[in-house]
Chain A
Amino acid sequence: MTERVTRPLPHVETMEDLLTAACLVEEAAAECLQSLCEQMEVHHNPRMSALFTRLADMRASHAARILAEMEPHWRAQRYRRDPRWLADACPGVADMDEAHYLMQPAHGLQLAARSARRIHDFFSALAAAMPDAALEQRAVELKAQVAADLRAIEEELARTQSPREDWSHDDDPPVIQA
């Protein structure tokens, strides 16, 4: 989200650094979307649970591809880095506080689009800062991949009905009204 404060980019010097950063970002995004899927399942919103599963799978499949490209010891080391190395607010982390038990597909797609846009901007900034051509090329590929996802999400959003104004109205609300 644009309002998020972001710290400088991670220090990337090697292919291990780049792929570790990319993998951690995609894994964090997939974890958030998977958590949203579970939240919707628990709160009896199966339509949104299915949507978040699909969106989580999209990010998880990128993480899996990047992992397959990494050397085994890079994979093993990726969680041992200080998480703040990556960035202050990991670009993959979704705006979880926007979840609502009555949320509609358009809300879920908007949330996923914002997350994808942040990841795109992150890869874009990384590509511009790479120390050599091979790293730059791989960062550009990562950026192109997430750009394709973002387009797909935005196209789906354009086909999706906008929520009614009273979408969050509940005849039997859980919150005691003041």
Chain B
Amino acid sequence: MSEARKPSDYKSAIKPIWCPGCGDYGVLSAITRAFALLQLAPEEIAVISGIGCAARIPAYIGAYGFHGLHGRALPMATGLKLARPELTVLAAGGDGDIYSIGGNHFLHACRRNVDITLLVMDNRIYGMTKGQPSPTTEPDFSTHLYPAGTHLQPLNAMAIALIAGANYVARAFSGDPNGLAAEIAQAIRHPGFSVIEILSPCVTFRPGQKAWKRQVQRGALTPAATLPEALAAVTTGPQLATGVVWKGDRPPYAGPDPAAGKKLQDLLEGFAP
């Protein structure tokens, strides 16, 4: 039997420049373990991101990757998956990248349900730009820009993902790379748009998040039988609960039927002078 691919086979030669201790190291480790678990060929994987500390992750993975524009991981990943359905496509980014500037794309990616796995490294802050509040920052968290807190209600992105139509919704913790790896592998296998919100501490601008390793309630979320039950779990349940809350069965969108419409070549010819 040929030697199996190891997690380290999915790392690139580029060394991460995240702050020492950043939760995103655990996410990188978990992604490589998930790929090894599925024994995916590196040339059959593409990891697409926008901008932010979290969004640097494709550079550190030994597969195809694209580090694109802030907020635009999902439209790029959608286009790629529709054009190259045989690829395993992951989109990755931070809470600012995906929920703030990329919020509109997040809604429509859930609605379209293309077979992509989205990993959101949620540290409830804009890490890369030195600590501005993000859509998930707690209302009373004081930053240098908002010394008394924003007093704004944080976005419940998991609830939004459920309502907007995501086919698989889970929360995980970067401090548990084994559990996270298993969840990422499951999400990749599950057809349609999968969202994993990963609690990934920013040790530099949110050092208090180091306490998450004592506070997360591992496995407290379990797949709900109905959408209202899933919604109840993520709205009224503990906010640091991890686990899969929804495994839907909506058929994924794979693009227009090529037989029904014009082929790309016809369209190109239509534009030709």
Interface residues on chain B, size class = 35 or more
Interface residues on chain A, size class = 35 or more
Contacting residues, chain A, for B203 (C-beta < 8 A): 97
Which one of B11-19, B72-80, B249-257 contacts A? B11-19
In this assembly, does A175 line the interface, its C-beta being within 8 Å of a C-beta of chain B?
yes
Contacting residues, chain A, for B144 (C-beta < 8 A): 176-178
Give the residue name and chain of the A residue nearest to B17 (CB). Answer: A42
What is the minimal beta-carbon distance from B142 to any residue of chain A, in angstroms?
7
Tell me the B residues contacting A by CB distance below 8 Å.
1-8, 15-21, 23, 25-26, 29, 33, 36-37, 39, 130-131, 142-144, 147, 175-179, 181-182, 201, 203-205, 210, 213-214, 218-219
Evaluate whether A100 and B20 lie within 8 angstroms (CB atoms) in the complex, with A76-B2, A175-B205 already known: yes
Evaluate whether A78 and B23 lie within 8 angstroms (CB atoms) in the complex, with A87-B178, A97-B201 already known: no
Distance in angstroms between the alpha carbons of A55 and B29 in the assembled complex:
19
1/0 per residue, CB under 8 A from B, across A19-55: the answer is 0000000001001100110111111000000000000
B4 touching A79, Cβ below 8 Å: yes
A90 touching B2, Cβ below 8 Å: no
Evaluate whether A97 and B142 lie within 8 angstroms (CB atoms) in the complex, with A42-B16, A88-B179 already known: no
In this assembly, does A86 line the interface, its C-beta being within 8 Å of a C-beta of chain B?
yes
What are 7 A-to-B residue pairs whose CB atoms are below 8 Å? A39-B20, A39-B21, A41-B15, A73-B1, A79-B37, A83-B181, A97-B203
Tell me the A residues contacting B by CB distance below 8 Å.
1, 3-5, 28, 31-32, 35-36, 38-43, 72-73, 75-84, 86-90, 93, 95-101, 103, 174-178
What is the minimal beta-carbon distance from A28 to any residue of chain B, in angstroms?
8
B131 touching A176, Cβ below 8 Å: yes
Within 8 Å by CB of A84, from B8, B142, B179, lies: B179
B218 touching A88, Cβ below 8 Å: yes
Within 8 Å by CB of A176, from B4, B29, B130, lies: B130
Within 8 Å by CB of B39, from A28, A80, A177, lies: A80
Within 8 Å by CB of B3, from A75, A80, A174, lies: A75
B178 touching A99, Cβ below 8 Å: no
Tell which of B20, B25, B177, B210 has the most Cβ of chain A within 10 Å.
B20
Within 8 Å by CB of A79, from B16, B39, B210, lies: B39
Evaluate whether A31 and B16 lie within 8 angstroms (CB atoms) in the complex, with A73-B1, A90-B178 already known: no
Within 8 Å by CB of A83, from B179, B204, B214, lies: B179
Evaluate whether A76 and B4 lie within 8 angstroms (CB atoms) in the complex, with A4-B213, A175-B205 already known: yes
B3 touching A76, Cβ below 8 Å: yes
What is the minimal beta-carbon distance from B22 to any residue of chain A, in angstroms?
8
B213 touching A3, Cβ below 8 Å: yes
